[in-house]
Amino acid sequence: MTEEYHGNPSEVRSVWYQDGELRILDQTQLPERTVIERQDSVEQVWQSIKELKVRGAPAIGVAAAYGLVVGLRPYREASSEEFCRQAKRIGDYLIEARPTAVNLAWAVRRMLARLDELVSHRHEVGTGSEVSAARGADRPDRLYAELEAEAERIHREDIALCRAIGEHGRPLIKPDIGVLTHCNAGRLATSDYGTATAPMYLAHREGVPFRVYADESRPLLQGARLTSWELQAAGIDVTVITDNMAAFVISKGLVDLVIVGTDRVAANGDVANKIGTLGVAILARHFNIPFYVACPSSTVDLETPTGAEIVIEERGAEEVRSFGLRRTTPPDMQVRNPAFDVTPNELVTGLITERGIVSPPYAERLQELFGVR
């Protein structure tokens, strides 16, 4: 079921769950239409993730957690064995929607681990005298309610995490500065606040005046379509530029600070993010402007020593060969389409995490903050 949204766009969420119903904002239709889609089956959730109706690592994780709940709804009356078997099957199915999305698999595994915990708890107590009470806790409708609560916890934790990033980054937004951002690491990519945008939303709520330049972010134009839309909806002064205008805008003294998001941060602080981020980091260094990366701890990957070990996904040629309905290059034109690039740690002024801003030397500091003790 889809419906056009006509309310205040600043109140729309990428994903929300209310009265047992999951809804997502169809981001593929932005900025032309604001369409809300109720998710009535796990197949629909799978499609929504696959087709990028819901996108951004944290938002995908939250959608997948709820997606598992949606998929289990028909099994509330089944046996608990069947319920668990279906949960495993649906989880595997959901992960396939975007196999490289770390948060998707993470959220599904966390949901299944919670289910395991509930069921094994039953087995432990089931050997004792409280068999009938334990049987009650094992009933699929109870398991279902517990999984629903777990998905809501994942959701709330994401909001709290983004808010914490916002609070740590907030002091960077001084009155009347210009902030440049690339791609969309905003509310639309998370449950709320966003990561790169969280300091901006908090500063704006406090009445701090500032302006944002949003790179359009070819080829998929997340900056032009999404960052522009969500910042405008919030009443923040935002200007869209094509990616190749960033140098011009910075050279004119209009930008005092860069904040971007990240997909993965290596143990040495090298940052993988949307293609084009490296170029912005080099411009920031050239013009002596601080370059910050908003970085939830879930993106810190201490298993990957440096950015050199991060495999860069190369996407389909058509994204570069055309735009919308119009071909932009000769047919069969040779193109490159790396989805990400790696910004070396020496170009990064700081990582804004939910536990505070991490400064160089990153290898030591990231280990201290996020390493296993």
**Binding-site ranges for a copy of itself (CB under 8 A):** 31-32, 182, 213, 215-219, 221, 224-225, 228-229, 232, 237-249, 251, 275-276, 278-279, 282-283, 285-286, 312, 320-321, 323-331, 333-338, 341-342
Distances (CA, A) of 174 to 104, 256, 359: 35, 9, 19
Tokens for 357? 């801003």
Instruction: Specify the residue, 329 or 359, whose C-beta has the smaller distance to a copy of itself.
Output: 329
Distances (CA, A) of 82 to 29, 72, 136, 253, 304: 38, 10, 16, 63, 38
Tokens for 179? 């902030």
Q: What is the dihedral of CA 100, 263, 70, 139, to 10 degrees?
A: 90
Q: Minimum distance between the CB of residue 276 and a copy of itself, rounded to whole angstroms?
A: 3
116 is an active site residue: no
Instruction: Specify the residue, 156 or 286, whose C-beta has the smaller distance to a copy of itself.
Output: 286
Tokens for 143? 């398991």
Q: Minimum distance between the CB of residue 253 and a copy of itself, rounded to whole angstroms?
A: 13
| ∠ CA 292-207-195, rounded to 5° | 30
Q: Minimum distance between the CB of residue 232 and a copy of itself, rounded to whole angstroms?
A: 6
User: Pick from 54, 57, 59: which is nearest to 35 by CA?
Assistant: 54
Q: Minimum distance between the CB of residue 8 and a copy of itself, rounded to whole angstroms?
A: 14
Q: Minimum distance between the CB of residue 241 and a copy of itself, rounded to whole angstroms?
A: 5
Residue 221: helix, strand or coil by DSSP? coil
User: Pick from 24, 19, 17: which is nearest to 1 by CA?
Assistant: 24
Q: Give the neighbor-by-neighbor strand order of the sheet with 271-274.
A: 300-301, 264-266, 271-274, 340-343
Instruction: Specify the residue, 125 or 320, whose C-beta has the smaller distance to a copy of itself.
Output: 320
Residue type, position 144, single letter:
Y
Q: What is the C-alpha separation between 332 and 322, in angstroms, rounded?
A: 11
Instruction: Specify the residue, 144 or 201, whose C-beta has the smaller distance to a copy of itself.
Output: 201
Q: Minimum distance between the CB of residue 209 and a copy of itself, rounded to whole angstroms?
A: 15
Which of the residues 138, 158, 243, 263 is marked catalytic? 263
Query: Could you give phi then psi for residue 83, rounded to 5 degrees?
Result: -55, -45
Instruction: Specify the residue, 148 or 263, whose C-beta has the smaller distance to a copy of itself.
Output: 263
DSSP string, 249-286: HHHTT--SEEEE--SEEETT--EEEETTHHHHHHHHHH
Q: Which residues are catalytic?
A: 263
